[in-house]
Amino acid sequence: MMDEVVNKMKTVDWKNIELGITVNGLRNVLVKRVISPFRRFRRLLEKSQWWSGDQLLAYQTEKITELLWTAYRHVPYYRGMMQVYGVSPKKITSINDIKNLPILEKHVVKQNTFQFLSETMMYPTLYKCRTAGTTGEPLYLFRDLNNIGFEYACLRRQAQWAGLQDGTTYVSLKGEVVAPKKIKSGKYWSFSFAEKKLAVSSIYLTEQNVHKLIEEMKRREVQYVDGYPSPVFKLAKFMQSRDIQFPLKAVLTTAEPLGLYQKKVIEETFLCNVYDYYGMAERVAAIHMCEHSNYHVVPEYSFVELLENSALPENYYELVGTGLSNYAMPLIRYRTGDAVKASDTTCPCKRAYPVVESIGGRISDYIITPGGKYVWMFDHIFQGSKNLIQAQLYQPDLEHVVVRIVPDKYYKQSDGKKIVEQLQQGCDEKISFRIECLNSIPVNDRGKVQSVISDVSKEGFGSDQNKTELLRRKR
Ligand SMILES: [Zn+2]
């Protein structure tokens, strides 16, 4: 045994150990896997994925009741709000009774953050995070160890559905920040031994230096990639243009809507399936993709409601969720601002989890025409053009939209013309589109590419629902 340890120590490349990222990684592993109740939740989720619909509903009802009692007794905001609405946990007999509570808006949480904290929790023991904010102040959120362990157990199960084992080396492409010192030496990645994670900065990834990363991936024996669709797609496009393929067991994507055109290129480059999953900093909904490539709402994680919204295309619903595991800062009926496309199919995996057809992205990612028309979802337009690495719409005023694109080397002017024609057709208005070619599209403070940025005030629009029409996704 001792010899084994000594041999193992000899194989460690001590010179290349990066202290900062390794200490950070150790802390992450300690919190997520050791201190939190991760193992208990992992065992639960192993079993519960095969529960019947009735068993899952019973579980959700029990957890919602517990959460409401916690909120009523210990969370100042809910104590006051329930009194105003005449709701008491005693009156909750079925899960649908929580619909007597109002929808919770993000700005309410932002303005009253500390009113949402449970009085039973010791502030220093909580884990603070924040939502990505492109404008204004970010929203701060607090989580307890229960929530951290539960979420990590759900994510490990997602990896298991993708055929991945715990402890395998992977590439992370999630808007990573790498020390400038390293970048100068030509390495735009850091390696965390504790997490077996090769964190790659997509900002410094170019077609010319992509081979360096591939060499590092080979050296580290990388088994999968976990990242945002746009940087993973960027990497795949660079590899494709250099005729490079790198077989992986799976690619996991999250945090931005995954376009079918992106999925196809990623799968062809890494010779494996893409598994897309949905989550958010507020932890009120999780949607994971099973072995049959269907999106499943994870019912143990949260209680999800799909609400109608007149600003959305047919069969798209607004996602409202209640997280079932964060007792430090309960968020009940929280409006996520994201939309999903409903599905009535049953999945061959035989799990009784609800299925959704696709993740639609931010409801606020639309442009407004001079006639007051909302135009949403541009995926199908960019999908038609194979020669793009990234795309974004920027609307500086009502009459103009800049189509920002990062072209690849096969891009022709006719591609841009076609994109403009399709956008023009969809908007059916005197709105002018202009193509702007860039080397890269700026990301927000969490490393994500926003599909639409609009400077047009949205006040006063949408009040007259008859004016609201939408560009339907062309399939
Ligand atoms: Zn399934």
Query: For residue 355, how far is its CA from the centre of ligand 1 (angstroms)?
Result: 8
Q: Identify the band that residue 13 occupies on the pLDDT scale cut at 50, 70 and 90.
A: low
In the sheet that 189-192 helps form, which strands lie side by side, from edge to edge? 189-192, 197-200, 170-173, 224-227, 250-254, 274-277
For residue 389, is it within any domain?
A: yes
Query: For residue 201, how far is its CA from the centre of ligand 1 (angstroms)?
Result: 33
Q: Are 257 and 229 in contact (CB under 8 A)?
A: yes
Query: For residue 97, how far is its CA from the centre of ligand 1 (angstroms)?
Result: 29
For residue 311, is it within any domain?
A: no
Residue, of 334 and 24, whose pLDDT is higher: 334
Say which residues have a Cβ less than 8 Å from residue 9's Cβ, sequence separation at least 6: none
Say whether pLDDT at 474 is over 50: no
Query: For residue 149, how far is its CA from the centre of ligand 1 (angstroms)?
Result: 23
Say whether pLDDT at 299 is over 50: yes
- Report the pLDDT value the prediction gives residue 382, as an integer from 0 to 100: 72
Query: For residue 303, how far is its CA from the centre of ligand 1 (angstroms)?
Result: 18
Q: Are 104 and 334 in contact (CB under 8 A)?
A: yes
Say whether pLDDT at 465 is over 80: no
HSE-CB of 281 using CA atoms within 13 angstroms: 16
Query: For residue 175, how far is its CA from the centre of ligand 1 (angstroms)?
Result: 29
Q: Strand, helix or coil at 361?
A: strand
For residue 253, is it within any domain?
A: no
Residue 53's identity, in one-letter code, is G
Residue, of 256 and 6, whose pLDDT is higher: 256
Query: For residue 296, how far is its CA from the centre of ligand 1 (angstroms)?
Result: 7
Query: For residue 284, how far is its CA from the centre of ligand 1 (angstroms)?
Result: 21
For residue 390, is it within any domain?
A: yes
- Report the pLDDT value the prediction gives residue 461, as an integer from 0 to 100: 42
In DSSP notation, 344-413 reads ----TT-----EEEEEEEETT-EEE-TTS-EEE--HHHHHT-TTEEEEEEEEEETTEEEEEEEE-TT--H
Query: For residue 158, how far is its CA from the centre of ligand 1 (angstroms)?
Result: 11
Query: For residue 214, how far is its CA from the centre of ligand 1 (angstroms)?
Result: 32
Q: Domain of 393: which CATH number?
A: 3.30.300.30
For residue 211, is it within any domain?
A: no
- Report the pLDDT value the prediction gives residue 222, as an integer from 0 to 100: 98
Query: For residue 350, how far is its CA from the centre of ligand 1 (angstroms)?
Result: 6
Q: Identify the band that residue 243 occupies on the pLDDT scale cut at 50, 70 and 90.
A: very high
pLDDT, averaged across the chain: 86
Say whether pLDDT at 466 is over 50: no
For residue 385, is it within any domain?
A: yes
Query: For residue 294, how far is its CA from the centre of ligand 1 (angstroms)?
Result: 5
- Report the pLDDT value the prediction gives residue 446, as an integer from 0 to 100: 66
Say which residues have a Cβ less than 8 Å from residue 66's Cβ, sequence separation at least 6: none
Within its chain, how far is the Cα of 210 from the centroid? Answer: 25
Q: Are 131 and 138 in contact (CB under 8 A)?
A: yes
Query: For residue 299, how far is its CA from the centre of ligand 1 (angstroms)?
Result: 13
Span 126-151, pLDDT tens digits: 999 887 654 556 889 999 999 999 99
Query: For residue 259, how far is its CA from the centre of ligand 1 (angstroms)?
Result: 20
Query: For residue 349, how far is its CA from the centre of ligand 1 (angstroms)?
Result: 4
Element (H, E) at 252: strand 250-254
Q: What percentage of the chain carries pLDDT values higher than 70? A: 88
Alpha-carbon dihedral angle through residues 416, 422, 428, 430, given to the nearest 10 degrees: 0
Query: For residue 456, how far is its CA from the centre of ligand 1 (angstroms)?
Result: 41
- Report the pLDDT value the prediction gives residue 468, as an integer from 0 to 100: 31
Q: How many CB atoms lie within 10 A of CB 167?
A: 8
Q: What percentage of the chain carries pLDDT values higher than 90? A: 54
Query: For residue 148, how far is its CA from the centre of ligand 1 (angstroms)?
Result: 25
Query: For residue 56, how far is its CA from the centre of ligand 1 (angstroms)?
Result: 15
Nearest-angstrom CA–CA distance, 345 and 274: 20
- Report the pLDDT value the prediction gives residue 236, as an integer from 0 to 100: 96
Q: Which chain residues have CB less than 5 Å from ligand 1, an ion? A: 290, 292, 294, 347, 349
Q: Which residues pair with 317 in a beta bridge?
A: 340
How many domains are contained in the chain?
1
Say whether pLDDT at 454 is over 90: no
In b/e form, how buried is each residue of 409-427, taking b as 16+ CB within 10 angstroms? eebeeebbeebbebbeebb
For residue 387, is it within any domain?
A: yes
Q: Are 263 and 233 in contact (CB under 8 A)?
A: no
Domain that holds residue 408: 366-467
For residue 100, is it within any domain?
A: no
Query: For residue 60, how far is its CA from the centre of ligand 1 (angstroms)?
Result: 20
Say which residues have a Cβ less than 8 Å from residue 15's Cβ, sequence separation at least 6: none
Query: For residue 163, how far is its CA from the centre of ligand 1 (angstroms)?
Result: 14
Question: Among 175-189, 234-248, 309-323, 339-353, whose mean pLDDT is lowest?
Answer: 175-189
Say whether pLDDT at 171 is over 80: yes
Say whether pLDDT at 228 is over 90: yes
Query: For residue 356, how far is its CA from the centre of ligand 1 (angstroms)?
Result: 10
Q: How far apart, in Å, are the Cα atoms of 247 and each of 238, 267, 270, 469? A: 15, 10, 5, 44
